[in-house]
Structure 1
């Protein structure tokens, strides 16, 4: 698989926007369960990437993937900064 083709669809602005939306959801809105945040970010990423890159199946799918990747990026950064918790 050629990963260089992924750079054609990667939009940093969408990734950062999803990261910010996810952080706000996690810290400010207690009524949103954590298990729904990845799904919300996938939808937000799909919509934002469709707006930025034009409406197509590819841009919607890659936008959803960027929304999910922002969830993983947040978790990786949190684990790196806070360290691995004992017993986890």
Structure 2
């Protein structure tokens, strides 16, 4: 399996929705611990992808993966914009 095969399981709507949920959690709820955001996004991605792509174990795993990848994309974008290479 190469990355071309994985691209057919990538659902842009799920990733964007997870990015939005993560951003809202990080900026709006100061009492919500940042360490739980990846877990919430994995679960959110799982549920959304099951809704969009249908019920299967494969879709659940790919949905959780998309939720977690949205966390990484947010971090990469933030570091790129701010120019930080180290975590504070």
Q: TM-score range by the shorter chain?
A: over 0.9
Q: Mark the CA change 1:85 to 1:8 in structure 2 (over 3 Å): closer, same or farther.
A: closer
Displaced runs of 4 or more, over 2 A: 85-88
CA RMSD of aligned residues (A): 1.5
Size of the aligned set, in residue pairs, is 88
Q: Mark the CA change 1:52 to 1:84 in structure 2 (over 3 Å): closer, same or farther.
A: same
What's the TM-score once normalised by structure 2's chain length?
0.94
What's the TM-score once normalised by structure 1's chain length?
0.94
Which ranges of structure 2 fall in alignment gaps of 5 or more residues?
Answer: none
Cα distance in 2, alignment partners of residues 13 and 87 from structure 1: 29
Which ranges of structure 1 fall in alignment gaps of 5 or more residues?
Answer: none
Q: Would you say 1:10 and 2:10 are equivalent positions?
A: yes
State the partner residue of 1:46: 46
